[in-house]
Amino acid sequence: MNKETLPLAQSRNNPYKQTRLKTFLVAFIGGALLYHCFTRPSVLLGSYSSDSFIGKSDDLCAQSTPLFPTVHGTLWEKLQAGFKEQEFQNKTVEWLAGAVKVPTEMFDDMGPVGEDPRWENREAFHDYLVEAFPLIHSSELITLQKVNTYGLLYTWKGSNETLEPIIMAAHQDVVPVNPTTISSWTHPPYSGYFDGERIWGRGTNDDKSGLIGIFTAVETLLSNSFTPARTIVFSFGFDEEGGGIQGAGELGKTLLDVYGEDSFAFIIDEGGGFTEQFGSQFATPGIAEKGSLTVQLDIATPGGHSSVPPDHTSIGILSRLLVEFENNPFDSALSRTSPLYAQLVCFSTHASTLPPSISKLIHRSLSSEKALADLEKALFDKGSFGDSIGMSRLWKSMSGTTQAIDVINGGVKSNALPEQAFAVINHRIGIDSSSSAVESRDTSLLLPLAQEFNLTFTAFGELISDPSSNSSAGKLSLDYLPTRRPLEPAPVTPLDSNAFGLLAGTIRSTFDTHRRLDRSSTEKNEVFVAPGMPTGNTDTRFYWKLSKNIFRYKHHHSKSSAHTVDEFIELDSYLEMIRFYMTLILNSDEARDI
């Protein structure tokens, strides 16, 4: 990298510029409380004891100072003033509303691109982008490559080729709207209706607001004659809601072929936002993702007339197997290596209304196994600390591998014995586990029952149990769901990277600026940045080899839920999201140590 062309984006004593030696010495002074952070590298993600998060012995979650552009300072100030202009606000509404009006639904049973006509609405969406953002599509510095027909790969060429590029990602598709729910919508799901405060419709929350928000930032920067030093790649998949294989899956391969492994300074995609926790505002960019393994249980038994039934039909056997699953859930454990634990430590340091007893318990858990066990109980048990914030089930689910029986089918006639029955079980794999561990556990769980029912048992293509043909009552098969291959847990993004420091500083400056300029507030506007982990998977699953710094973060605080009736985004939240993307682009362009 060129270390001399421009100074690092300044942030008034930005903490992520501190050296590791200084961090070590300061943390050492903290004594026994921080002992585990340095004697056990895996503790707190192995990077929680970093420039970004340990500042002094009584502050285990030190915060990056808000990071403002300096080289592009004049332009940044001009852009901030523009957010208050009615013309700009109207344009942002128009751009997002227009995108919502183009349905780009993703169904689970869609065939390959070129064969299934339901993909073709993506082309209409592409036409809309060309029409809505003329500067992006006429700039000599921006090129567009379409991958697998509908994947969009825009490259905004920077002037300094020694700087590693960044990727800003989003997806074009949305989950379908159930036709039976349309009458329940306050405004039609594909109307893009704006009521003066909210923009309504499918995709306003997930994820057209992200895609259009990025393009709004870029179009505005172009209109102000900004040209980047650092190359920016915009990667927009088209089937994220179906697993992303044909969209981001192909985009990832193309990027790897062109740029190679670990070639990007960072990648940012949809994910966490910010919300109030215990009286304080916290932003929680995702630095990890759980894996996923979806299995199908198939039972095959002889048919016949239901008037002469066997002791157990295929449906009865399947039911017994499913009961065995639900009676034996995976263990969940609060681990010091988890991003969620690091998040708790941040809560204990910065949350204004967290009960002192809980804060002390979190701090004791850094070095005490008993305190860690007590904290886990408080988080996971209903009626205790975890439930007091409505989060007990979420904390428990995110702290280990889970299982959910989502589909069951069997039988065709009331007086005919069911020859076939099947069920689908979805696992979300804890970050300290693997798909092979889940496969082994599922196989071991079912083996005793397969033997009890005298079933020929095959698991993941391997014959496990084979009674003699005379005694076999049928066949049991355990295998991957054909459309869902196993996904391992994602690599954990290090918290001690300069890229994370830049992101955290940008989050904090955006939060403060949006409130100070747009609401004339004289109060201190502060958000604390804590590591997070989204509950689902994003398109970043296909980008792991491209960068060690992958963030799932969208800087939003909408009260709307995605994937349901009445999806919307507040204009105020949307404007802040756009402000974040603009500031991130400018800060990244100035940085020289990412």
Residue 502 and residue 67 in contact, taking contact as beta carbons nearer than 8 Å: yes
159-168, 281-290, 475-484: the lowest-pLDDT one:
475-484
Q: Is residue 24 part of a domain?
A: no
**Strands of 527-529's sheet, edge to edge?**
274-277, 280-283, 527-529
> Is 563 annotated to bind ligand?
yes
Provide the token pair at 328.
Answer: 């034996």
Residues 433 and 315 in one domain: yes
Check whether 81 has a pLDDT greater than 90: yes
> Burial code of 15-54, b = ≥16 C-beta within 10 A, e = fewer?
bbebeeeebeebbeebeeebebbeeeeebbbbbbbbbbbb
Provide the token pair at 232.
Answer: 């920016």
**Per-residue pLDDT tens over the stretch 210-259:** 999 999 999 999 999 999 999 999 999 999 999 999 999 999 999 999 99
* Alpha helices, DSSP H, located in 333-421: 339-350, 356-364, 369-380, 385-388, 392-398
Residues 132 and 189 in one domain: yes
What does residue 298 show for φ and ψ, rounded to 5 degrees? Answer: -120, 130
Provide the token pair at 317.
Answer: 């056997």
Residue 209 and residue 574 in contact, taking contact as beta carbons nearer than 8 Å: yes
SS3 per-residue string spanning 134-162: HHHHHCCCEEEEEECCCEEEEEECCCCCC
Distance CA 256, CA 370 (A): 46
Q: Is residue 60 part of a domain?
A: no
Residue 74, C-beta contacts closer than 8 angstroms, at least 6 positions apart:
none
Q: Is residue 26 part of a domain?
A: no
Residue 484's pLDDT is 80
Residue 548 and residue 167 in contact, taking contact as beta carbons nearer than 8 Å: no
Distance CA 460, CA 297 (A): 11
Residues 361 and 438 in one domain: no
Residue 11's pLDDT is 40
- Compute the average pLDDT of residues 496-500: 95
Residues 413 and 534 in one domain: no
> Is 466 annotated to bind ligand?
no
> Is 452 annotated to bind ligand?
no
- Compute the average pLDDT of residues 558-563: 80
Residue 50's pLDDT is 32
36-50, 377-391, 447-461: the lowest-pLDDT one:
36-50
**Per-residue pLDDT tens over the stretch 399-455:** 999 999 999 999 999 999 999 999 999 999 999 999 999 999 999 999 999 999 999
DSSP SS3 for 105: strand
Q: Is residue 42 part of a domain?
A: no
Residues 233 and 353 in one domain: no
Residue 381's pLDDT is 82
Decide which of 3 and 272 is more confident.
272
pLDDT class for 482, splitting at 50, 70, 90?
Answer: confident
Residue 541's domain comprises 73-288+490-590
Residue 536's pLDDT is 86
> Is 350 annotated to bind ligand?
no
**Positions marked active-site:** 173, 240
Residue 249's pLDDT is 97
Residue 575 and residue 83 in contact, taking contact as beta carbons nearer than 8 Å: yes
Mean pLDDT for the chain overall: 88
- Compute the average pLDDT of residues 159-180: 97
pLDDT class for 518, splitting at 50, 70, 90?
Answer: low
Residues 405 and 536 in one domain: no
Residue 93's pLDDT is 98
Residue 565's pLDDT is 93
Distance CA 578, CA 588 (A): 15
Distance CA 43, CA 355 (A): 25
Residue 523's pLDDT is 58
pLDDT class for 302, splitting at 50, 70, 90?
Answer: very high
pLDDT class for 36, splitting at 50, 70, 90?
Answer: very low
Residues 200 and 83 in one domain: yes
**Per-residue pLDDT tens over the stretch 452-471:** 999 999 999 999 999 876 67
Distance CA 563, CA 175 (A): 6
Decide which of 472 and 303 is more confident.
303
Check whether 491 has a pLDDT greater than 80: yes
Pairing of strands 455-459, 402-410: unpaired
Residues 258 and 393 in one domain: no
Decide which of 349 and 39 is more confident.
349
* Alpha helices, DSSP H, located in 471-538: 498-519
Handedness of CA 427, 431, 432, 435 (dihedral sign): positive
Residue 301 and residue 447 in contact, taking contact as beta carbons nearer than 8 Å: no
Give me the CATH number covering residue 127: 3.40.630.10
- Compute the average pLDDT of residues 43-50: 31
Closest CA to 53 of 346, 278, 335: 346
Residues 175 and 267 in one domain: yes
Residue 516's pLDDT is 86
Q: Is residue 1 part of a domain?
A: no
Q: How many domains does the chain have?
A: 3
Q: Which helix (H) or strand (E) holds 174?
A: none
Pairing of strands 527-529, 142-147: unpaired
Check whether 96 has a pLDDT greater than 60: yes
> Is 555 annotated to bind ligand?
no
Q: Is residue 485 part of a domain?
A: no
Residues 475 and 389 in one domain: no
Residue 569 and residue 205 in contact, taking contact as beta carbons nearer than 8 Å: yes
Residue 142's pLDDT is 98
Residue 494, C-beta contacts closer than 8 angstroms, at least 6 positions apart:
45, 46, 47, 50, 500, 548, 549
Residues 170 and 204 in one domain: yes
Distance CA 544, CA 154 (A): 19
Residue 199 and residue 193 in contact, taking contact as beta carbons nearer than 8 Å: yes
Residues 231 and 320 in one domain: no
Check whether 144 has a pLDDT greater than 60: yes
Check whether 51 has a pLDDT greater than 70: no
43-52, 132-141, 189-198: the lowest-pLDDT one:
43-52
